Structure 1
Amino acid sequence: MVPTRELALQTSQICIEVSKYIGARVMVTTGGTSLKDDIMRIYENVHIIIATPGRILDLMEKNVTQMDRCNMLILDEADKLLSQDFKGMLDKVISYLPKERQILLYSATFPLTVEQFMRKYLKGPYEINLMDELTLKGVTQYYAFVQERQKVHCLNTLFSKLQINQSIIFCNSTQRVELLAKKITELGYSCYYIHAKMSQQHRNRVFHDFRAGLCRNLVCSDLFTRGIDIQAVNVVINFDFPKMAETYLHRIGRSGRFGHLGIAINLITYDDRFALHRIEQELGTEIKPIPKVIDKSLYVSEFQLEDDVENVSK
């Protein structure tokens, strides 16, 4: 179970590849798609379902999914699934499972809701903590102190000076996402945008095309912060600085995936200064002032650097 449709699609692709070796049938089901089609597919004997909470609960309540033999529930991005956004849904889902079952939780943060859930449903669980090893590893963080009206100009400067393979740019509202994407396009850069108010079909197309490398820049809301793995992303820009440390952690974690390096650049206004300091303290990290020249070795792979040298020599 995952919190977003995009993450469900990504996870299902990986499961389908792995399942080839064990002969398991995989199905993905999310809101915004045909319920009738999902019901027909379930009747074809499915071993693994990747789902968002609302849709799987709908199938359970309609008695379409027979859960008496489902002995494993995996919660990816458990902190989000246990947030107010999905209030009470997991309790309902678990009520359909057999008493003898295994529950696995995966989360980059460990809020009180996760701890309460563990006490309620997990008996003597094993806990593996990799945060000391993995948190923000490989991502160099900078901030640029700007006025609100200077942000687009600053972004234009960054585009001209950075060697961007692919970038993700975060805004704090869906309206600002669309406005910024339009501005970036007017500046002459290739740009997609994605947010939760778009139709699911449109979201799927944007996600697929950006992941395939058809566009260099993606402007988005926090819909895109969780679990999305696109190896080519080496730059994350917070056009709007987030208020919560948890949101910041998930946003900048979109770069530096799979052992690659990346940079995160935060556009900070006067009103953001306290949030910047607080997030540094809460995450035990340092966000440095942006230098005039950013060392390419901090966010560009050796192969890209070799290509640069070859192009210059030519």
Structure 2
Amino acid sequence: MNETFEQLGLNNTMLQVVDKLYFKKPTNIQVQSIPSILQGKSIIGESQTGSGKTHAYLLPLLNQIDESKEEVQLVITAPTRELSMQIFEEIKTITELAQKEQNWITRLIVGGADRQRMIKQLERKPHIVVGTPGRILDMVNEGVLSIYSATSFVIDEADLMLDFRFIDIIDELLVRSKKEVQILVFSATIPKQLKPFLNKYLAQPVHIKIKNGLTPDQMEHRLIEIKHQDVVQKIMDITEIIQPYVAILFTNSKESADDLGNQLAEKGLNVGVLHGGLTSRERKRMVKAILDLRYQYIVATDLASRGIDIKGASHVINVELPKELDFYIHRVGRTARAGLAGTAISFFREEDTALIEELEKKGIHFVFSDIKNGEWVDAKRFNKRELRKNIATKLDQEAWKQVKKPTKVKPGYKKKMKKQQERIKSRLKREKRNNNRK
């Protein structure tokens, strides 16, 4: 791929913006998307996290803003406030670099913001609307925003839109748009469940699918068996080795994130915490601080794995591995972005082995590691047979706890109790399998 931005059809203003952004050459998704978008075609863009999808649609769409028309021309929807805010900030940056602050009017429309202030801001019709589907629809229903004039409609992180059940809301927004509106759908993956919606609204779209691995080739994946070790101390040991530019530490709950953030701050680390339990004002302030690189360490829940692009994130540490494969991919996708190297370090426990094996089957190579004397050392791969034995023993013990003891001892009672224990054990096994699939 030897294409340059000059060959993609962008105007001189946008080429100057690209130069000021220090983009050397377009990514695969940008090469294949930008010309089609400039031609007004609807597209479905499928490409891995960190491959440049946001600028693949922002550059050509902003390239075509008609300053003479005071009406909504672009509607960009995202599943989270954080991602909406990030896209809004990217547009602001491009607008400033293009010296169009007085010409291109952009409005951020998300929940948690002052509603009356938002309504007041919409008195001047914006060229660009960015926000979450529900709040944009709220403003449309309020009568303060019309999107019928929009020529392009973006659905970013489409798979998450589906997970969050926002597709019905997007459906309502598209009903209020022109029939011929250009629809741009971007996502790391396009689930089958999304196909009926795509077939309904996109007539003969350009389908762009960039075939890469689940994660970038330049990403390193390390696994550390945590067992009974002190998690906070292990993190401190890791920080001594990696000396990150920015490290994101993921937990599975906001309670764990708060607890870990406090403990690391007590150890002297410069830590920010981001999760869905923060108030709207706190989240907005934290996202801005993170984007301004005020923190070297960010403790987060999966909210940040899809909602924010942290420039220079060199390391991701999964303090707790997620339950689903997709969440691992999105978490580690916060590093090794735009062709840079990155490292993902994950603590694992017995219950994580099914996920690890599933990721390995998908092509991810893990390095089993530990730390001794301030250095990385190789560690033994988990012993499947031993783990199965341990899990079986624990199931036996748990099943016996649930066996009902007879009030009167009768002949053959031990045999009956054993059968009862086996039935309970079988049920526990099934439940465990089902939980691992969730």
TM-score for both structures, normalised by structure 2: 0.64
- Correspondence for 1:12: 88
1:287 aligns with 2:366: yes
- Alignment partner of 1:190 out of 270, 274, 279: 270
Structure 1 counterpart of 2:240, from 156, 160, 172: 160
The aligned counterpart of 2:285 is: 205
Unaligned 5+ segments in structure 2 are 1-76, 378-438
1:242 is aligned, of 322, 345, 353, to 322
* Equivalent residue in structure 2 for 1:118, among 187, 198, 202: 198
State yes or no: 1:29 paired with 2:109. Answer: yes
Structure 2 letter corresponding to 1:5:
R
1:229 aligned residue: 309
Inter-CA distance 17–197: structure 2 relative to 1 (3 Å threshold): same
User: CA 1:162/1:230 → structure 2, altered by over 3 Å: closer, same or farther?
Assistant: same
- Is the CA contact 2:214–2:329 (under 8 Å) kept in the aligned structure 1? no
Alignment partner, residue 89 of structure 1: 169
**Structure 2: distance between partners of 1:213 and 1:16:** 18
Q: For structure 1, which segment, 189-198 or 111-120, has the greater mean C-alpha deviation from structure 2 after superposition?
A: 111-120
Which residue of structure 1 lines up, in the alignment, with residue 398 of structure 2?
none
Q: Once the two structures are superposed, what CA deviation does each residue of 1:134-156 show, in whole Å capped at 9, x if it has no partner?
A: 83232211111112653223212
2:294 is the counterpart of 1:218: no
Q: Determine which of 149, 152, 175 is the counterpart of 1:69.
A: 149
Aligned pair in 2 of structure 1 residues 294, 253: CA closer, same or farther (>3 Å)? farther
CA contact (8 A) 2:80 2:307 kept: no
Q: Which residue is equivalent to 1:136? A: 216
User: Any idea what SS the aligned residue of 2:257 has?
Assistant: helix
In the other structure, the counterpart of 1:39 is 119
Q: Report if the CA contact (8 A) 2:79-2:164 is conserved.
A: no
Q: Is the CA contact (8 Å cut-off) linking 1:79 and 1:113 kept in structure 2? A: no
**C-alpha separation between the residues in 1 aligned to 2:294 and 2:95?**
28
Report if the CA contact (8 A) 1:19-1:25 is conserved.
no
**Structure 1 residues 146 and 192, CA, compared in 2 at 3 Å: closer, same or farther?**
same
Residues 236 and 264 in structure 1, CA contact (< 8 A), matched pair in contact too:
yes
Match of 1:180 in 2: 260
The residue identity in structure 2 corresponding to 1:206 is M
Q: Does 1:274 align with 2:354?
A: yes
Secondary structure in 1 matching 2:306: coil
Secondary structure of 1:74's counterpart equals strand
Q: Secondary structure at the match of 1:290?
A: strand
How many residues are treated as equivalent by the alignment?
294
Counterpart in the other structure of 2:41: none
User: Retained in 2: the 8 A contact 1:177–1:195?
Assistant: yes
1:114 positional shift: 2.8
1:26, distance to aligned residue in structure 2 (A): 1.1
Q: Which runs of 5+ in 1 are unaligned?
A: 296-314
Report the alpha carbon displacement of residue 276 of structure 1 after superposing the two structures with TM.
1.1
One-letter amino acid of the counterpart of residue 289, structure 1: F
Structure 1 stretch displaced more, 222-231 or 235-244: 222-231
Report how far residue 291 of structure 1 moved.
5.9
Structure 2 counterpart of 1:189, one-letter code = L
Question: Aligned partners of 2:92 and 2:270: how far apart in 1?
Answer: 32
Q: CA deviation at 1:213?
A: 2.2
Find the residue that maps to 2:190 and give its secondary structure: coil
Encode CA deviations 1:202-239: one digit per residue, 9 max, x unaligned.
Answer: 11111211222222101011110115222221010001
RMSD: 2.0
2:299 and 2:154 map into 1 onto residues whose CA distance is: 30
Q: Whole-Å Cα distance in 2 between the matches of residues 212 and 289 of structure 1?
A: 34
What amino acid sits opposite 1:46 in the alignment?
P
In the aligned structure 1, how far is the partner of 2:319 from the partner of 2:237?
A: 13
Q: Distance between the aligned counterparts of 2:228 and 2:180, measured in 1?
A: 55
**Which deviates the most, 16-25 or 137-146?**
16-25
Q: The residue matched to 1:225 in structure 2 has which SS?
A: helix
**Pair 1:71–1:217, CA change in 2 (3 A):** same
Greater C-alpha radius of gyration: 2
Amino acid at match of 2:360: E
Q: How far off is 1:175 after superposition?
A: 0.8
